[in-house]
Amino acid sequence: MSQHIAAAFAELRDRMVNGCNEVAAVRHFEDMAAERDRAIVGVLKAVATANDV
């Protein structure tokens, strides 16, 4: 991997981590985990419904 591409990936990673930290700083972990779990269940139900059609 070229040095330019590696630097771009590192910058992207850093920006994503910083963004996640900003969001997490004002929310409780349990709330975020519950929201994630509801979203996963929603996707699984949608897939199951699509497979029934």
Q: Who contacts 32 (Cβ-Cβ below 8 Å, separation ≥6)?
A: 24
User: pLDDT per residue over 27-42, tens digit each?
Assistant: 888 998 999 999 999 9
Residue 31 tokens, joined: 């709330």
Q: What is the mean pLDDT of residues 22-30?
A: 87
Beta-carbon contacts of residue 9 (< 8 Å; ≥ 6 apart):
1
Mean of pLDDT over the chain: 92
> What is the pTM assigned to this prediction?
0.56
The per-residue pLDDT for 1 is 66
Query: What does the domain layout of the chain look like in residue ranges?
Result: 3-52
pLDDT at 53: 72
